[in-house]
Amino acid sequence: MKFLTLRSAFLVCTLVAAPLVAADKTDAPKAPAVKLPPQPPDVAAPKMGTNGLPNEAFLKAHASFVATAKQGKAQLVFLGDSITAGWNGNGKAVWTNSFAKYQPANFGIGGDKTQHVLWRIENGELDGIKPKAAVIMIGTNNSGSDDAPGIARGVTKIVEFIRKKTPKTKILLLAVFPRGDKPEGNLGAANEKLKQVNAILAKLDDGKHVHFLDIGDKFVPGAGPISKDIMPDFLHLSAAGYQIWADAITPKLAELMK
């Protein structure tokens, strides 16, 4: 009888405790998102996650670009955000047909701002290579958080670092592409800011090492709006959009790659 009593007590304790353990696992509070201070557009910084740590996908892509650079083969480098990264997506066939002969490397990461590209090139993405040319198009993701002079300072820092790191590289600096579906104000307020950015960037053209090129009008016939056939979401390019991009820079790029 004593054995049965002890055994019964053990079972009761086990049944009572089990739900408590399960409840602890199920109802465990999640770590709150960390509120991060703003990142200045002209100060190198990695892309951060909501946990206050560098974004893992960003770091993974960066590591792959560093590995590509260390191979020492790339003669043409594209630097930018998701619009540049899209050469590996909607623009893949156009990329192959237009740039494969130049041994190109695509260093574009979705969501990147000027400070992120600056951090990437300061942390190894140009180590091991001395490309003949670099194509830069960055800044649209800064348009919601930074003013035009700040965005321009960020792009200028990128240009200055490339000039210092690999002085023989010719830089094809593209005006930030137009965006949005609003025809007023040449496609809206965001584009008014980007027009100001582009006006500042145009002054970086020295005719020797830095060449500024604004191909925005190739995407927007007349006063707009942008066609969905070119930018389905009024920001990212379709295959037709990438063909427009390639056709617009091919003559200048051929000159810089000699």
Residue 20: pLDDT band (50, 70, 90) is: very low
State yes or no: is 238 an active-site residue: no
Determine, yes or no, domain membership for 86: yes
Residue 6: pLDDT band (50, 70, 90) is: very low
Mean pLDDT confidence for 153-169: 98
State yes or no: is 236 an active-site residue: yes
Token pair 């389905």 is at which residue? 232
Question: What was the pLDDT predicted at 184?
Answer: 46
Q: What tokens does 43 get? A: 């100060």
Residue 181: pLDDT band (50, 70, 90) is: confident
Determine, yes or no, domain membership for 162: yes
The secondary structure of residue 37, as a DSSP letter, is P
Determine, yes or no, domain membership for 33: no
Question: What was the pLDDT predicted at 34?
Answer: 74
Active-site residue identified among 62, 98, 236, 238: 236
Residue 12: pLDDT band (50, 70, 90) is: very low
Strand partners, 173: 136, 212
Stated pTM of the model:
0.85
3-state secondary structure of 170: strand
Residue 31: pLDDT band (50, 70, 90) is: low
Query: Rounded distance, CA 78 to CA 169, Å?
Result: 12
On whether the CB atoms of residues 226 and 220 are closer than 8 A, the answer is yes
Question: What was the pLDDT predicted at 167?
Answer: 98
pLDDT of residue 71 exceeding 70, the answer is yes
Query: Rounded distance, CA 242 to CA 121, Å?
Result: 24
Q: What are phi and psi of 30, to 5 degrees?
A: -85, 150
The secondary structure of residue 136, as a DSSP letter, is E
Query: Rounded distance, CA 18 to CA 234, Å?
Result: 54
pLDDT of residue 37 exceeding 70, the answer is yes
3-state secondary structure of 204: helix
Active-site residue identified among 82, 147, 205, 227: 82
CATH of the domain at 224: 3.40.50.1110
Determine, yes or no, domain membership for 28: no
Determine, yes or no, domain membership for 78: yes
Determine, yes or no, domain membership for 136: yes
What average pLDDT does the chain have?
88
Q: How many domains does the chain have?
A: 1
Domain span at 218? 39-256
Active-site residue identified among 127, 206, 229, 233: 233
pLDDT digits (tens, 9 = 90+) for 196-218: 999 999 999 999 999 999 999 99
State yes or no: is 82 an active-site residue: yes
3-state secondary structure of 85: helix
On whether the CB atoms of residues 257 and 135 are closer than 8 A, the answer is no
Query: Rounded distance, CA 24 to CA 103, Å?
Result: 55
Determine, yes or no, domain membership for 214: yes
Q: Greater confidence, 257 or 4?
A: 257
Determine, yes or no, domain membership for 54: yes
